[in-house]
Amino acid sequence: IKLGPSEIVTEVSGTIGVFGAANVEYNAITSLTITTNVRTYGPFGEPQCTRFSVPVQDKSSIVGFFVCARKYVEALGVYVCPPISN
Protein backbone atom coordinates (compact mmCIF):
# COMPACT_ATOMS: atom_id res chain seq x y z
CA ILE A 1 0.00 0.00 0.00
CA LYS A 2 1.31 3.42 -0.92
CA LEU A 3 -0.45 6.23 0.92
CA GLY A 4 -0.96 9.69 -0.53
CA PRO A 5 0.83 12.68 1.03
CA SER A 6 -2.16 13.72 3.16
CA GLU A 7 -3.54 10.21 3.75
CA ILE A 8 -3.45 8.90 7.33
CA VAL A 9 -4.34 5.50 8.77
CA THR A 10 -7.37 5.81 11.05
CA GLU A 11 -8.26 2.16 11.74
CA VAL A 12 -6.89 -1.35 11.46
CA SER A 13 -9.36 -4.22 11.55
CA GLY A 14 -9.52 -7.85 10.62
CA THR A 15 -10.43 -11.33 11.71
CA ILE A 16 -8.91 -14.08 13.82
CA GLY A 17 -9.27 -17.77 13.12
CA VAL A 18 -7.77 -21.14 13.96
CA PHE A 19 -5.18 -22.90 11.85
CA GLY A 20 -4.33 -26.50 12.58
CA ALA A 21 -1.90 -29.15 11.47
CA ALA A 22 -0.72 -32.38 13.10
CA ASN A 23 -2.86 -31.90 16.25
CA VAL A 24 -1.52 -28.38 16.82
CA GLU A 25 -3.88 -25.42 16.60
CA TYR A 26 -2.86 -21.79 16.27
CA ASN A 27 -5.04 -18.72 16.78
CA ALA A 28 -3.90 -16.33 14.09
CA ILE A 29 -4.90 -13.23 12.19
CA THR A 30 -6.60 -14.43 9.02
CA SER A 31 -7.44 -11.10 7.39
CA LEU A 32 -6.43 -7.48 7.70
CA THR A 33 -8.10 -4.26 6.54
CA ILE A 34 -6.51 -0.81 6.72
CA THR A 35 -8.77 2.25 6.71
CA THR A 36 -7.50 5.76 6.02
CA ASN A 37 -9.10 9.17 5.87
CA VAL A 38 -9.35 8.61 2.08
CA ARG A 39 -10.24 4.96 1.48
CA THR A 40 -10.20 1.37 2.73
CA TYR A 41 -7.54 -1.16 1.68
CA GLY A 42 -8.40 -4.83 1.87
CA PRO A 43 -9.39 -7.12 3.30
CA PHE A 44 -6.10 -8.90 2.74
CA GLY A 45 -6.30 -12.60 3.54
CA GLU A 46 -9.38 -14.68 4.22
CA PRO A 47 -11.97 -13.24 6.65
CA GLN A 48 -13.08 -15.73 9.31
CA CYS A 49 -15.18 -15.79 12.47
CA THR A 50 -13.86 -13.46 15.17
CA ARG A 51 -13.55 -9.79 14.21
CA PHE A 52 -11.28 -7.18 15.79
CA SER A 53 -10.94 -3.45 15.26
CA VAL A 54 -8.42 -0.84 16.39
CA PRO A 55 -9.83 2.63 15.64
CA VAL A 56 -8.09 5.81 16.77
CA GLN A 57 -9.56 8.93 18.33
CA ASP A 58 -10.44 11.89 16.15
CA LYS A 59 -7.39 13.57 14.58
CA SER A 60 -5.02 10.80 15.78
CA SER A 61 -3.35 8.44 13.33
CA ILE A 62 -1.77 5.00 13.28
CA VAL A 63 1.89 5.46 12.36
CA GLY A 64 3.33 1.97 12.84
CA PHE A 65 2.65 -1.69 13.55
CA PHE A 66 4.21 -4.51 15.55
CA VAL A 67 3.31 -8.18 15.65
CA CYS A 68 3.74 -11.32 17.71
CA ALA A 69 4.33 -14.25 15.39
CA ARG A 70 5.52 -17.81 15.50
CA LYS A 71 4.34 -19.85 12.56
CA TYR A 72 1.49 -17.36 11.96
CA VAL A 73 0.82 -13.77 13.01
CA GLU A 74 -0.94 -14.20 16.36
CA ALA A 75 -1.26 -10.60 17.54
CA LEU A 76 -1.02 -7.12 16.07
CA GLY A 77 -0.35 -3.85 17.85
CA VAL A 78 -0.26 -0.27 16.61
CA TYR A 79 1.69 2.88 17.35
CA VAL A 80 -0.58 5.92 17.51
CA CYS A 81 0.37 9.55 16.98
CA PRO A 82 -1.87 11.85 19.05
CA PRO A 83 -3.42 14.95 17.49
CA ILE A 84 -0.87 17.66 16.78
CA SER A 85 -1.82 20.98 18.35
CA ASN A 86 -0.82 24.24 16.69
Looking at residue 86, its pLDDT comes to: 63
**Contact yes or no for 34/14 (Cβ under 8 A):** no
Residue ranges of the chain with pLDDT lower than 70?
86
Please give the domain boundaries of the chain with CATH numbers for all domains: 9-81 (2.100.10.30)
Predicted confidence at residue 24, as pLDDT, reads: 80
Q: How far apart (Å, rounded) are the C-alpha atoms in residues 76 and 33?
A: 12
Give the C-alpha separation, 15 to 28, whole Å: 9
